[in-house]
A and B are shown apart, each in its own frame.
Chain A
């Protein structure tokens, strides 16, 4: 049996029970606003791979190709010599002796 979910059309029809003249585009804007607020909760877990560059310290956290925005990174793995991804620790202090802006 299919999982019950609401399409934008169904949401609009429910809203129009109380607001028959509400513009569709405006309701869609409000739906997107609600989705952004819900994004604060950890509702969508994603994975991504990226290549490292020798002597480059910083990697930008965006994935514009897939249109996905990162809210919070909670785990990072690094590939070992056998090609296996191994969890690496997070530095909580965020301070190291040397610094780079690349």
Chain B
């Protein structure tokens, strides 16, 4: 069905609770109703085919084959190498019986962990800035 709302932004609102999106409207009856009056939020009153368009940040897809390319921006790809190496060095430090080797492995794990964190935070911020679109500075109005 099609929508009958001419100005949905004046009536309909959304909110999130846990893993659910709540959709409510202000439209309603004016007389003889309890908690369904015009002006009170209540469940959306219309069935609209493809009526909602959601914009969201999605979870990247997992890799399952060696030909796959990780589903994140390519600036993160070298960080993945650091992440994997950090974990493998931690594993090595935990399994070796040689104290010196364990110490060296732990140091290398920390180095790779640090490189991973630095890269992800730096590029993660950069990506967040990109999503904001063009920016401008508004000067203060002194008049």
* Interface of A toward B, CB cutoff 8 Å: 3-9, 11-12, 14-15, 18-19, 22, 24, 27-28, 30-62, 67-81, 83, 85-94, 96-98, 100, 102
Q: Tell me if A71 and B35 are in contact (CB < 8 A).
A: no
B75 to chain A, nearest CB (A): 9
Cross-chain pair count, CB within 8 angstroms: 296
A24 in contact with B40 (CB, 8 Å): no
Bound CA–CA A35/B57 (angstroms): 14
A85 in contact with B53 (CB, 8 Å): yes
Q: How far does the alpha carbon of A76 sit from the alpha carbon of B57 in the complex, in Å?
A: 12
Task: Tell me the complex Cα distance, A91–B12, Å.
Answer: 10
Contact B56 A6 (CB under 8 A): no
Any A CB within 8 A of the CB of B41? yes
CB of B29 closer than 8 Å to a CB of A:
no
The reply on B42 being an interface residue by CB < 8 A is yes
**Which residues of B are interface residues toward A (Cβ below 8 A)?**
2-9, 12-17, 19-24, 35-36, 40-74, 76-81, 83-85, 87-88, 92, 116, 120, 123-124, 127-128, 131
Given A35-B80, A78-B5, do A44 and B58 touch, yes or no (CB 8 Å)?
A: yes
Report the Cα distance A90→B81, complex, angstroms. Answer: 39
B20 contacts which of A11, A60, A78 (Cβ < 8 Å)?
A: A60
Residues in A whose Cβ lies below 8 Å from that of B85 = 15, 18-19
Residues of chain B within 8 A (CB-CB) of A93 are: 15
In angstroms, how far is the closest chain B Cβ from the Cβ of A99?
9
Residue from the list B59, B65, B128 in contact with A70, Cβ < 8 A: B59
15 A-B contact pairs sorted by A residue (CB < 8 Å)? A4-B74, A8-B63, A30-B84, A34-B84, A36-B60, A38-B120, A43-B57, A47-B53, A53-B47, A60-B19, A74-B55, A74-B57, A75-B55, A78-B3, A96-B41
